[in-house]
Amino acid sequence: MVATLYRPTWAEIDLAAIGYNIKQIKKTLSTGTEIMAVVKANGYGHGSVEIARKALASGAKALAVALLEEALVLRRAGITAPILVLGWVDPKDSPVAASHHITLTFFQEEWLEEVGKISLTDDLKVHMKWDTGMGRIGIRTEQDLSHVLTALKQIPHVKLTGVFTHFASADEENLTYYHGQTERFSRLLDIFQKEWQGAESIHIHTGNSAAAIRFPEQMQHYIRFGIAMYGQYPSPWVKSQKIISLKPAFSLYSQLTHVKRVSKGAKIGYGSTYTFNEEGWVGTVPIGYGDGWSRELQDFHVLVDGKKCPIIGRICMDQMMIRLDQSYPIGTKVTLIGKDQQEEIEVDDIADYLGTIPYEVTCMLNERIPRKYI
């Protein structure tokens, strides 16, 4: 991918906001609870290397990613902090993880057996995942846990350094399911502590942003801090509770590349879906679905000169048209996410319009949009 340097569309990432958000959560956590900054999916679209560096400089002690590839990107950038890969990694690739001191997640006996057959020059650190109700990956039963622990004892070059689970609904108002998960986790932890020698030195972590914000004192050795580090709330409900103040790190800007006066009856874009009922002004903005700016955003708005301007006609691959209230010079700034005078478009506004979550919005804006760090 060629870095885009010449096209006037860019995302601005406010690194100070990342530091601020880490500081906000840190002051609520008990001593002994550290922050593992979740920088998977290119740091939720913010840039994994830059976010990882800022998070570590702001007090995070470890990093989490989803893929081994993502961990290697961080290592190649010279980041030496502990990195946990949260997803499943093929056992045949465990030597790559071991040699780069990258911790893998495991939850299957057969996975251990496969790793056991490989001669590793470095020990492989692993965290064991327990599925307490997410239904995605992890050991589900007490019996399976006992089997896995027995298997693990046979493989001296695989070093268990952590156990964890993931909550499915810590961001919801109703916490019944969340409490059910914490109870299942405690039951598995009891067995683990009885059956594993040295259990007291194993790192335990359960909380994502929502759990950490709501139950900071219940968090164990780490929180896995993702969406809130980027300044977004895990759900509208958590946001409405005003438990924590967060600053969004992501803004998105472009510029007008063409402005024209059109007469009544003028049609705009593919399929001519928009018709002017009276004379008006059209601005062209160089961003489209090829950048991850979804076609579904038709009829949403952007900001120009502090005013909301509707997106008219179909969004093209690289450009879209907006309705302006007057003529503006070429090069006028267009705010797609962020503040312009008294107006603001939040990531949440776009998520609401698209019927999705803020996580998806910053992830969907792809690498064609350069990230500028401020």
Ligand X SMILES: Cc1ncc(COP(=O)(O)O)c(C=O)c1O
Q: Rule CB under 6 A: which residues touch ligand X?
A: 38, 86, 166, 208-210, 224-228, 234
In the three-class reduction of DSSP (H, G, I as helix; E, B as strand; rest coil), residue 195 is classed as helix
Which residue's C-beta sits nearest to ligand X? 226
Q: Would you tell me how many other CB atoms lie within 10 Å of the CB of residue 137?
A: 16
Distance CA 229, CA 125 (A): 26
> Which DSSP symbol is given to 356?
S
Six-digit token pair at 333? 């700034």
What is the smallest separation between the CB atom of 265 and ligand X, expressed in angstroms? 48
Q: Which is nearer to ligand X, 234 or 286 (CB)?
A: 234
Q: Which is nearer to ligand X, 227 or 302 (CB)?
A: 227
Min CB(342)–ligand X separation in Å: 30
- Rounded to the nearest whole angstrom, what is the least distance from the CB of residue 225 to ligand X in the complex? 6
Residue in 153, 260, 264, 270 annotated catalytic: 270
Q: Please tell me the chain's helix, strand, coil percentages from 3-state DSSP, rounded to the nearest 5.
A: 35, 25, 40
CB atoms within 10 A of CB 265: 10
Q: Label residue 325 left, alpha or beta by phi (over 0 means left) and psi (-120 to 50 means alpha).
A: alpha
- Residue 334: which H helix or E strand, with range? strand 333-340
Which CB sits closer to ligand X, 44 or 253? 44
Short-list 246, 244, 247, CA closest to 28? 244
Nearer to ligand X, 86 or 345 (CB): 86
CB of 172 to ligand X, least distance (A): 12
The smaller minimum CB distance to ligand X, of residues 166 and 301, is found at: 166
Shortest approach of ligand X to residue 87 CB, angstroms? 8
- Measured in degrees and rounded to the nearest 5, phi and psi for residue 151 equal -65, -40
| Minimum distance from residue 224 beta carbon to ligand X (Å) | 4
Measured distance CA(40)–CA(87) in Å, rounded:
10
In single-letter form, the type of residue at position 34 comes to E
Instruction: Let me know if 40 is a catalytic residue.
Output: yes
CA distance 9 to 5: 9
**Beta-carbon contacts of residue 334 (< 8 Å; ≥ 6 apart):** 253, 254, 255, 256, 283, 285, 302, 303, 304, 322
CB closer to ligand X, 124 vs 210: 210
In which element (H, E) is residue 361 found?
Answer: helix 358-364
Nearest to 297 by CA among 340, 242, 352: 352
**Which two three-digit tokens encode residue 353?**
């319009």
Q: Per the residue annotation, which of 23, 40, 44, 54 is the catalytic one?
A: 40
Cβ-based neighbours of 352, under 8 Å, separated by 6 or more: none
Write down the least CB distance from residue 286 to ligand X, Å: 31
Nearer to ligand X (CB atom), residue 97 or residue 170? 170
Known catalytic residue at 153: no
Residues classed as catalytic: 40, 270
